[in-house]
Amino acid sequence: MKTTLFAAIGLTLASFCNLALAGPTLDRIEKNGELVNVLMENYPPFSFLNDDNQLDGFDVDVAKAVADKLGVKLRLETPSWDVIAAGRWNGRYDICICSMTPSQARAQVFDFPVTYYASPAVIVVNASDERIHSAKDLSGLKVGVTSASSYEGYLNKDLVIEGAEDKPLEYPFDAVQVAPYDNDTVAFHDLALGAGVRLDAILTNLVTAQPRIDQDKRFKLAGSALYAEPNAVAIEKDDAEWRAKVESVFAELRKDGTLAAISKKWIGSDISQ
């Protein structure tokens, strides 16, 4: 009888300890049976509404793969980028597989357990524009960016990429008129109106810009890439157990080729790290 009682107590304590070690985020995910990923609704080819009005893209597929590894459903939320990047989610979202660049400022509110792909930052201009050939030509001009993005930080000359503090970025331009947008799509619409009509240029990710340039001859790249931009998974700070789990899951996705396959599907090459 005592042996049975002690065994039961032991099992109860073990279960309690496992629950305690799960951490608040992992505990919530397991309890609800779902992973809540936050991303942008209009950031092709990483996240966008397809012809069936369903969210699709590179980040969506990566989030699905993570949920599958965890054995739970995936729920996608699409608030504005300002809300996503501000952090302090208070449990509303579990993870941001959403093409976020880790910066010193963002590291105040996020942990970045995994860098899962990298892509250069580039300048896009109207095809008729002959004024802009490099970043130094942006001085005094109006440049569109996604609000609260790393590109806005770059134009404000205060972007420090987390983990690359020993490689400070160069800012070869004078003051720029920064034009923040909710997403790239609206900025491209304005740039399409002509050089300097509403915008002089857009600063964005090469992977998102190239398909637009290939499909629409009103756009072109100006000069070479500005800087290499790592993109990381973001989670709420100070949840060591959830961080370790995310690292473990992405290690599996790399090892079994899932990340590379998703990258080749959407990008045409493997940009995963």
Give every CB contact of residue 183 below 8 A, 6+ residues apart in sequence. Answer: 40, 41, 42, 43, 81, 146
Residues 259 and 186 in one domain: no
Do 106 and 156 lie in a common domain? Answer: no
250 and 164 fall within a common domain: no
What's the domain range around 59?
24-118+230-267
223 and 128 in one domain? Answer: yes
* CATH code, domain carrying 153: 3.40.190.10
* Token pair 């790290």: residue: 273
Do residues 135 and 151 both lie within one domain? yes
**pLDDT value at residue 109:** 95
Same domain, 196 and 216: yes
Is residue 144, in this structure, part of any structural domain at all? yes
Residues 126, 39: one domain? no
For residue 75, tell me if it sits in a domain. Answer: yes
Residue 192 lies in a domain: yes
Q: Is residue 272 part of a domain?
A: no
Are 100 and 142 contained in the same domain? no
CA distances from 37 to 5, 17, 117, 250 (A): 42, 27, 17, 15
pLDDT for 167 equals 85
Cα dihedral 142, 145, 264, 160 sign: positive
The answer to whether residue 9 sits within a structural domain is: no
Residue 153 lies in a domain: yes
| Nearest in space to 244 (alpha carbons), one of 111, 64, 113 | 113
Q: Do 70 and 114 belong together in one domain?
A: yes
What per-residue confidence (pLDDT) applies to 33? Answer: 98
In the chain, how many domains are there?
Answer: 2
In a domain, 92, yes or no: yes
This prediction's pTM:
0.83
221 & 126 share domain: yes
**Around Cβ 4, how many Cβ atoms within 10 Å?**
8
Q: Are residues 77 and 147 in the same domain?
A: no
Q: Are 23 and 240 in contact (CB under 8 A)?
A: yes
pLDDT values of the chain reduced to their tens digit, one per residue, 273 residues: 433 443 444 444 444 443 334 589 999 999 999 999 999 999 999 999 999 999 999 999 999 999 999 999 999 999 999 999 999 999 999 999 999 999 999 999 999 999 999 999 999 999 999 999 999 999 999 999 999 999 999 999 999 998 888 889 999 999 999 999 999 999 999 999 999 999 999 999 999 999 999 999 999 999 999 998 899 999 999 999 999 999 999 999 999 999 999 999 999 989 996
pLDDT of the residue at 4:
41
Q: Give the Å distances, CA to CA, from 53 to 48, 127, 240.
A: 9, 31, 36
162 and 243 together in one domain: no
Virtual CA dihedral for 241, 243, 246, 247, nearest 10 degrees?
-110
For residue 11, what pLDDT is reported? Answer: 42
Position 12 in a domain: no
HEC secondary structure over 156-210: CCCCCECCCCCCCCCCCCCCCEEEEECCHHHHHHHHCCCECCCECEEEEEHHHHH
